[in-house]
A and B are shown apart, each in its own frame.
Chain A
Amino acid sequence: MKNLYKLSGLFFFLILLLSSCGFKDIDKRSFVVGIGIDQLEQEQEGYEVTLKMAYPASETKELGNQFQLISAKGSTIAEAIRFIKAKVGNELDFGHMKMIIIGEKILTKDIEKTMDWFTRRRDIQQIALLSVGKPDAKTILSVKPKGERLPSNKLFMFFDETGTESPYVTTKFLYEFRRDLVERGMDGYLPIVESEEDNFSITTMAVIKKGEKPLILNKKETKVFNILKKSYDKESLKVNAQDQFFMLAVDSLNTSYRIKDSKKPKIKFKVDVEGTIEESKVKLRKGKLDKYNKLTEETFKKDIKKLLQKFQDTNIDPIGFGLRYRAMHTGPEKKKWKNWKDLYPEIDINVQVNAEITGTGIIE
């Protein structure tokens, strides 16, 4: 019995040692909701780091847009953070940092080096959302959208699909991007956020290849890319050909591709679209649905092919063809990779679109 007491005493003592992050009350912490990384203008090396810290209001009713932006310059991110710590009274808490914005200019530099800090720190959530800030990260962080109950909440809503679901918004999590940078056969991509007075506009994206200049996609390309990559089906397609003009509201959309390994290797890309017509400028007939289907297929096919060709020409592969190739082939890794690198610029890309319009949207 005496032994038991001793044992439980020891046990309790050991529990005391477990104190992990240390006791710090929630109101003594400054929550960083967003971080922006910009390049220094004059010097070659170094960053300007901007932290967006939210302040809770004591009255729930007036909880709102209280935040503070603190910037510091340093040769590394960690150093800049140290400087910021010296400017804040509370403990910096990165646990709720969900938004990482990288200045556009950094993209041209070695992005892997910049991302290193984020992947090493244990208190940074790997599900943080990544995006590119245009013209720089600090401008994006300082935007104060109307009706925002929580600093940066609007940006979260854009990306984590709890709020808006737009075909132009691409989502990239920190862990995904890290993988993309390391993985052979797949290149990373990031959405570009621009500020418009007190609002955001997210319509374009950048495809990033390690050590190369990023490829910026325009609005239309971004949309097509989201269809190809995520089979994004909250979408409407514009068909404008042969005197017809209509918008197709997509109900379901499936994409799949195969890399055929015959004598002449080719990529077969297949897209199935199903939907109804949402808007039209000319009169449509139900009996002519087959014709509309065909028109849709042609327009859509052209767009997809154009984008894929663009990737091929710049030797960038955000869809992950190379990864698929590596997965489907046997043999030594080095050889496979070399094979693919030789193959990709010349490979045939075959796009096949099946459209099925289920109705004109009007009862005739």
Chain B
Amino acid sequence: MFSFEKSEVERVKPVLEKQFKGTEDAQFRTLSLENDQEIELVYIQTVIDNANIHEQFFKPFFEINDIQRYESYIKSLPNFKEFKDEQDTVKEILHGSIVFLIQNKVYMVGFIHQENSAVLDASVETTILGPQKALSENIYTNLNLIRHRYHEKSLKVEKLPEIGDKSNIQVCLLYDEKEADSEIVDKVKKRVKKADRPIVQSAGELHRALTNRKRRLFPTLLVTERPDRIAYNLYQGKVIIMIEGIPFVLIGPTVFYDFMSSMEDFYQPYWVSKFLIVLRYIGLFISLFLPSAYVGIISYNPEVLRIQLAFSIAGSRMPVPYPSYLEVLFMLIMMEMLTEASIRLPKTIGPTATTVGGLILGQAATDAGLVSNIMIIIVAAVAISNFIIPINEMSFAMRVMKYLLLIITTFSGLIGLVIGTVGLIYYLVYLDSFGKPYLKLFTSHQK
């Protein structure tokens, strides 16, 4: 098994010294007994549990006072690992193991300590009645959370090769063996292996690396922070991709409907949840179509409106010097800037920006005769209804999509809007998520 010329220690020690000697937080400790027997410990101070190392390893060493017995003590520890080769040892050290060089043998004990294992409050996908906690940034804490929501022996956790040449982020695959399609599991594994990016730091980034289409508008994998959604999707036979250091997971394969559903739908009475779903679709259509429908109707086919409304629109547009599409574009972009600013701004000055922006957009722009009153209502409706879409990524995609429809409508009126809509549906049908059709309104629970 091992080369006979050199012992494990002789092979490992020079490698470790070469790799870590210059690093401030790498520790090479030698502990020796009275009879001059000594062991050596190598670890990186900043990734291990520094507070407990004395209690766990140093004190027993002197209490036991015997190398052989200490060796078996080490072997009895829960996170004990055997030596494989030099490369593996280096990796283990980086991921929070302590390497013991005892006589000629090399042992490793995982003693990792992470500062990010606190469970966060759900902040992106909030519900009123559902669980209030989201995931943490620690993969093991997350696994713990999910296991406690999904007690099933067929739940499989698979470690995948680490992602990123530089970041070496650990990625786990989670699926219910009984429910999930093994073909899809294999496909996901293959994709993750193929993903090559030097640094992966968010679920969205991994999502980008996982889809084979480079320029993507619509999300084809679901990013979520809710353990209850993960448990539900496991039951639905989906595959969960967990990433170390990120309080989000990726769920695939998905259909369009997944992005329009909130976990709240399960917690409310039947008719209430149906009402909410209908409301969401109405919101989707308003945010997608209202700006372009405004241009199409105002500038091409005003006879669509009833005459009373046509006149009040015409009246409110009287002082506006620009054609309708410029008016719409101007207001929409101002609105986008406002939303974008309120995301980026520090929380303390966020409200100020929205108030000032809202005032400018709402009142002053009409008074100055730059936009019509009706336009303000439309922009407000578009902005609000856009946030009704429960999954953030989808609402972003729809925000972009409405501009495409607006351009087509500006050039060719309501016919353009119809054609643009047909085109959008074509595109959504053409998309797939891990080989599964995307625009399928409802997932059938396959068994």
Chain A positions within 8 Å of B, measured between CB atoms, are: 11-12, 15-27, 29, 31, 33, 54, 56-60, 63, 93, 95-96, 98, 123, 125, 149-150, 153, 156
Contact = CB atoms under 8 A, between A and B. Distances in A.
Given A15-B408, A26-B313, A150-B308, A21 B319 contact: no
Nearest to B303: A95
Given A25-B317, A56-B311, A57-B315, 15 more contacts: A15-B412, A16-B411, A19-B412, A20-B415, A21-B413, A24-B299, A25-B324, A31-B302, A60-B312, A60-B315, A95-B302, A96-B310, A98-B307, A153-B308, A156-B307
A22 B313 CA distance: 19
B144 interface: no
Given A15-B416, A21-B300, A26-B298, A150 B411 contact: no
Given A15-B411, A19-B413, A60-B316, A26 B299 contact: yes
Contacts of A22: 300
B303 A93 contact: yes
Interface in B43-102: none
Contact of A63 (B312, B411, B415): B312
B177 to A, nearest CB: 38
A56 B300 contact: no
B356 interface: no
B93 to A, nearest CB: 45
Nearest to A18: B412
B337 interface: no
Given A58-B315, A60-B316, A96-B310, A29 B412 contact: no
Interface string B313-344: 11111111001100000000000000000000
Interface string B404-426: 00001011110110010001000
B307 A96 contact: yes
Contacts of A17: 412
B443 interface: no
Contacts of B313: 26
Given A16-B412, A18-B415, A150-B308, A29 B302 contact: yes
Contacts of B299: 23-26
B320 A27 contact: yes
B301 to A, nearest CB: 7
A63 B408 contact: no
B308 A20 contact: no
A156 B423 CA distance: 40
Query: B interface, how many residues as a size bin?
Result: 20 to 34
Nearest to A15: B412
A56 B413 contact: no
Contact of A18 (B303, B312, B419): B419
Nearest to A11: B423
B201 to A, nearest CB: 30
A19 B373 CA distance: 27
Interface centre among A17, A93, A95 (most CB of B within 10 A): A95
Contact of B314 (A26, A59, A123): A26
Contacts of A59: 315
A95 B309 CA distance: 13
Contact of A33 (B303, B307, B312, B412): B307
B181 to A, nearest CB: 29
A29 to B, nearest CB: 7
Contact of A150 (B302, B311, B419): B311
Contacts of B373: 60
Contact of A26 (B324, B413, B416): B324
B431 to A, nearest CB: 14
Interface string B386-417: 00000000000000000000001011110110
Contacts of A19: 411-413
A20 B411 CA distance: 10
A27 B300 contact: no
A307 to B, nearest CB: 36
B303 A58 contact: no
A40 to B, nearest CB: 30
Contacts of A16: 411-412
Nearest to B314: A56
26 contacts: A12-B408, A15-B408, A15-B416, A16-B412, A17-B412, A18-B419, A19-B413, A20-B413, A20-B415, A21-B300, A23-B299, A23-B410, A23-B413, A24-B299, A25-B299, A25-B324, A26-B313, A31-B302, A31-B314, A56-B311, A56-B315, A58-B316, A63-B312, A95-B302, A95-B303, A125-B303
Contacts of A21: 300-301, 413
Interface centre among B307, B412, B415 (most CB of A within 10 A): B307
B140 to A, nearest CB: 43
B304 to A, nearest CB: 8
Nearest 8 A/B pairs, CB to CB: A95-B303, A56-B315, A56-B314, A58-B318, A18-B412, A27-B317, A26-B298, A96-B307
A57 B319 CA distance: 10
A150 to B, nearest CB: 6
A12 B410 CA distance: 12
Contacts of B317: 25-27
A125 B303 CA distance: 9
Contacts of A25: 298-299, 317, 323-324
A29 B307 CA distance: 13
A24 to B, nearest CB: 6
A19 B417 CA distance: 11
Contacts of A11: 423
A156 to B, nearest CB: 8
A33 B314 CA distance: 14
Nearest to A62: B315
Contacts of B310: 26, 31, 96
Contacts of B411: 15-16, 19
Contacts of B315: 56-60, 63
Interface centre among A12, A26, A59 (most CB of B within 10 A): A26
Nearest to A54: B311
Given A58-B319, A125-B303, A27 B416 contact: no
Nearest to A24: B299
B301 A95 contact: yes
A240 B439 CA distance: 72
Contacts of A57: 315
Contacts of A27: 314, 317-318, 320
